[in-house]
């Protein structure tokens, strides 16, 4: 962890932009300000004309995920290496126990797989069944392992789907522990029945995928999860919000003061459902992910909600498969492993589609690619900020650099990059992770295993501490009122 002095750039945080140098040492940012002096042996990076932003946080990835009879192609090393090449310096991945599998057993498996990561990582833990042991393991994970978010797949019937009994029990337990419930909001029963009807009617190609998961299938589940959270008094985070119908459910809840957060994927913000009508089966199948890419007008709703603060984070749901794996569903689209890649493309794609079009300011870009995820998942200001004391995770961004995204040029092992052919302007020149340069002008410098598991404290202790602190500072006269 040598020292790095990033000189002459414009530092972009969520709340401010300032021309300043940034000095890092021993993995931390030690100073942000004008005319900083390099410490002995420091690497100097000339950032004149460039922007210096907090390293991106992708709160939704699936490296090495065993899913639908296969395993995703990017492991934790290739996936985090792909991430830093695009400016993302931390991922939050998922531990997904099989039904009836002890959460702690799955936890140990994922912790082992993730040892090879090249950059920092953390885990949401999925609750895919319910029992006293799940109740106990959730407590162990929060109190001893720094987990503060639990995922619930409302889709994927006969696999990892959480029914209402699991949702109500798990949300209640999360509240006790000071953890945040999150959901994949699709009605799994509707999907299952629609898939059966479509295949029986002879619609077996990828064009059947969006037909089996219309926006109402997502919105029903989003509204149901919102209502369960409302009744139980828990906050809620909805992953990969893909359609206007779900955005409207979130806006309704938030306008009543309910604490609901939403995540948008770079894919759903820029790709539409016409991809499923591609005459090349492999390209259409490469886009099979859930929720599916939608009709174009839904993108406007997502961009508007992101700018208005009704959606809060951007992610990729990086879940990379190759052509042979997607081919498992050649005769039946419901058997096509669901998932697309994107961890390396998220920030360039969103800079180009968001900032270059005026939809987002550079500060809003930082907020939705890094800061909000850090704050929602209780990592801030360790992550998500360029400030003294924060981790030295940052990206030197050249807003004028251009490239055309290609599968062949991807670091990810994905068989087909859904951003294939997209020309983007705005790229990372240098990515720094823990104070080490891991990406420099197109050269990957990652080290296998250098990534750290990042614990995320529960919310309740922080909140309780703030309550005690406030009580301690209230003048007695006032306290008697």
Residues near Zn ion (CB under 5 A): 184, 317
Find which of Zn ion, ligand URQ, none residue 67 binds, CB within 5 to 8 Å per kind. ligand URQ
- Residue of 287, 428, 410, 274 lying closest to 352 (CA atoms): 428
Q: Does 346 bind ligand URQ (CB under 6 A)?
A: no
Instruction: Please tell me the distance from the alpha carbon of residue 290 to that of residue 180, in angstroms, as a whole number.
Output: 22
Question: Which of residues 24, 61, 299, 338 is near ligand URQ by CB under 6 A?
Answer: 338
Residues 45-74 that bind ligand URQ (CB under 6 A): 62, 67
Minimum CB distance to ligand URQ smaller for 147 or for 191: 191
Three-class secondary structure of residue 366 per DSSP: helix
Binding string, 162-191, against ligand URQ, x = CB under 6 A?
A: ----------------------x-------
Shortest CB 99 distance to ligand URQ, Å:
15
Shortest CB 368 distance to ligand URQ, Å:
19
Shortest CB 292 distance to Zn ion, Å:
11
Shortest CB 412 distance to Zn ion, Å:
15
Find which of Zn ion, ligand URQ, none residue 339 binds, CB within 5 to 8 Å per kind. ligand URQ
Strand 394-404 versus strand 313-315 pairing type: unpaired
Q: Which residues are paired to 265 by β-bridges?
A: 315
The residue whose Cβ lies closest to ligand URQ is 338
Shortest CB 2 distance to Zn ion, Å:
36
Minimum CB distance to Zn ion smaller for 6 or for 126: 126
Minimum CB distance to ligand URQ smaller for 218 or for 245: 218
What are the structure tokens assigned to 404, written together? 């055309």
Shortest CB 94 distance to Zn ion, Å:
7
Q: Does 223 bind ligand URQ (CB under 6 A)?
A: no
Residues 96-155 that bind ligand URQ (CB under 6 A): none
Q: Does 370 bind ligand URQ (CB under 6 A)?
A: no
What are the structure tokens assigned to 257, written together? 């003061």
Q: Does 195 bind ligand URQ (CB under 6 A)?
A: no
> For residue 221, what are the contacts with CB-CB under 8 A and spacing of at least 6?
154, 155, 183, 185, 186, 187
Minimum CB distance to Zn ion smaller for 58 or for 317: 317
Instruction: Please tell me the distance from the alpha carbon of residue 139 to that of residue 173, in angstroms, as a whole number.
Output: 8
**Cα distance between the two ends of the chain:** 54
Minimum CB distance to ligand URQ smaller for 63 or for 119: 63
Shortest CB 152 distance to ligand URQ, Å:
11
Minimum CB distance to ligand URQ smaller for 94 or for 380: 94
Instruction: Please tell me the distance from the alpha carbon of residue 4 to that of residue 436, in angstroms, as a whole number.
Output: 8
Residues 287-306 that bind ligand URQ (CB under 6 A): 289-290
- Residue of 191, 218, 333, 202 lying closest to 276 (CA atoms): 333
Q: Side by side, which strands form the sheet with 180-184? A: 56-58, 88-95, 120-126, 149-153, 180-184, 236-238, 260-265, 313-315
Instruction: Please tell me the distance from the alpha carbon of residue 452 to that of residue 393, in angstroms, as a whole number.
Output: 12
User: Each residue of 53-77: b (16+ CB within 10 Å) or e?
Assistant: bbbbbbbbbbbbbebbeebbbbbbb
Shortest CB 441 distance to Zn ion, Å:
32
Judged by phi (left if over 0) then psi (alpha if -120 to 50, else beta), residue 330 lies in alpha
Q: Does 213 bind ligand URQ (CB under 6 A)?
A: no
Residues near ligand URQ, by CB under 6 A: 62, 67, 184, 289-290, 317, 319, 338-339
């Amino acid at each position: 962890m040598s020292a790095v002095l990033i000189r002459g750039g414009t530092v972009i945080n969520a709340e401010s932009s300032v021309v300043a140098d940034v000095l890092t040492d021993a993995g931390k940012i030690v100073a942000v300000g004008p005319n900083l002096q390099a410490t002995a042996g420091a690497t100097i990076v000339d950032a004149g004309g460039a922007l210096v932003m907090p390293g991106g946080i992708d709160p939704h990835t699936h490296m090495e995920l065993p899913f639908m009879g296969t395993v995703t192609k990017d492991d934790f090393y290739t996936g985090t290496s792909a991430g830093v090449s695009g400016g993302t310096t931390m991922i939050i991945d998922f531990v997904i126990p099989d039904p009836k599998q002890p959460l702690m057993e799955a936890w140990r498996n994922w912790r082992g797989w993730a040892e090879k990561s090249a950059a920092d990582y953390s885990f949401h833990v999925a609750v895919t069944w319910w029992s006293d042991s799940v109740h106990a393991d959730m407590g162990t994970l929060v109190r001893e392992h720094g987990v503060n978010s639990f995922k619930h797949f409302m889709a994927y019937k006969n696999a990892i789907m959480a029914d209402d009994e699991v949702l109500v029990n798990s949300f209640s337990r999360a509240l006790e522990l000071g953890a945040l419930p999150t959901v994949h909001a699709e009605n799994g029963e509707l999907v299952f029945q629609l898939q059966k009807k479509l295949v029986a009617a002879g619609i077996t190609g990828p064009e059947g995928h969006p037909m089996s998961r219309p926006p109402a299938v997502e919105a029903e589940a989003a509204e149901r999860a919102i209502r369960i959270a409302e009744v139980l008094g828990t906050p809620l985070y909805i992953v990969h919000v893909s359609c206007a119908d779900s955005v409207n459910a979130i806006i309704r809840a938030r306008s009543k003061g309910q604490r609901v957060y939403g995540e948008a994927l770079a894919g759903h913000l820029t790709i539409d459902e016409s991809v499923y009508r591609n005459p090349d089966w492999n390209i259409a199948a490469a886009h099979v992910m859930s929720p599916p890419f939608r009709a174009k007008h839904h993108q406007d709703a997502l961009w508007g909600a992101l700018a208005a603060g009704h959606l809060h984070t951007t992610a990729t749901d990086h879940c990379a498969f190759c052509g042979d794996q997607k081919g498992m569903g050649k005769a039946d689209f419901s058997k096509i492993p669901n998932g697309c890649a994107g961890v390396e493309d998220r920030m360039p794609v969103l800079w180009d589609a968001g900032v270059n079009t005026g939809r987002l300011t550079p500060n809003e870009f930082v907020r939705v690619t890094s800061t909000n995820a850090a704050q929602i998942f209780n990592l801030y200001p360790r992550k998500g900020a360029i400030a003294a004391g924060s981790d030295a995770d940052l990206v030197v961004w050249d807003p004028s650099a251009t490239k055309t995204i290609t599968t062949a040029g991807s670091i990810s092992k994905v068989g087909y990059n859904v951003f294939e052919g997209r020309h983007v302007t705005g790229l990372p020149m240098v990515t720094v992770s823990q104070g080490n340069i891991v990406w420099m002008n197109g050269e990957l410098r990652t080290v296998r295993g250098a990534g750290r598991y990042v614990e995320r404290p529960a919310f309740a202790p922080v909140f309780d501490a703030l309550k005690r602190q406030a009580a301690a500072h209230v003048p007695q006269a006032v306290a008697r009122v």
